[in-house]
Amino acid sequence: QVQLQESGPGLVKPSETLSLTCSVSGGSISDYYWNWIRQPPGKGLEWIGYIDYSGSTNYNPSLKSRVSMSVDTSKTQFSLKLSSVTAADTAVYYCARGRATYNYGDYVWYFDYWGQGTLVTVSS
Amino acid sequence: QSVLTQPPSASGTPGQRVTISCSGSSSNIGSNTVNWYQQLPGTAPKLLIYSNNQRPSGVPDRFSGSKSGTSASLAISGLQSEDEADYYCAAWDDSLNGRGVFGTGTKVTVL
């Protein structure tokens, strides 16, 4: 059974960099897209971006200037860095495994396994 | 921020059928498949439907999905108390070099 677990500081000061790691167990890190998704308290879901096992990335354009992701295949971990944080970045951050294929020309893209999420608060 | 539009709430009594809509555009739902996620209170989202109408193993067949043009729907038949949750649609959007987009979310209440 695939499991994902987020880890990192729960409190980050404004203007600093948020850093989180997602540890993957029970499955290979190859052949999938590894995603970060966040949810501000009481609000909806926002896709942050993904990284694949080779290190190729795709970031949400709204966050692209501040986001960086990396992958460590030997440790089956992947990481998120979000710079210059403000209170608006306070959210529960989830990591999730992404799958992608094509079905009669339509792009099939979904998250089949999620971590439990970790709350990151931006405050001085 | 959300690109896909859902009604904020839906409700029904046990045993009833509830339907949730998800409206998008040609760059997302119109050209890619739709997924649905269920988020029970205080927990991470869970994949409910993928590729418009496919259920992962373990998801009851009370849940069904459909897509037509730039809109999609999730139907819950035989509503149960444990179905009370937030539901989100999602799809890939081909604009801006490609990005994942979610719906605004719908809170389902079992009366």
Which pLDDT score is estimated for A107? Answer: 87
**A72 touches A23 (CB < 8 A):** no
Condensed to tens digits (0 to 9), the pLDDT of residues A24-63 reads: 999 889 889 999 999 999 999 999 999 999 999 999 999 9
For chain A, the C-alpha Rg in angstroms (whole number) is: 14
Dihedral (C-alpha) A58, B29, A44, B56: value to the nearest 10 degrees? Answer: -90
What is the 8-class DSSP label of residue A11? E
Closest approach of B67 to chain A, Cα-based (Å): 12
- Read off the amino acid at residue A122: V
Residue of A nearest to B45 (CA): A114
Residue of B nearest to A106 (CA): B32
- pLDDT of residue B1 exceeding 70: no
Instruction: Establish if A2 touches chain B: CB-CB under 8 angstroms.
Output: no
Query: Is B50 in Cβ contact with A108 (below 8 Å)?
Result: yes
Condensed to tens digits (0 to 9), the pLDDT of residues B72-96 reads: 999 999 999 999 999 999 999 999 8
- How far is Cα B54 from Cα A120, in angstroms, rounded to an integer? 33
Neighbours of B81 (CB within 10 A): 8
**B32 touches B94 (CB < 8 A):** yes
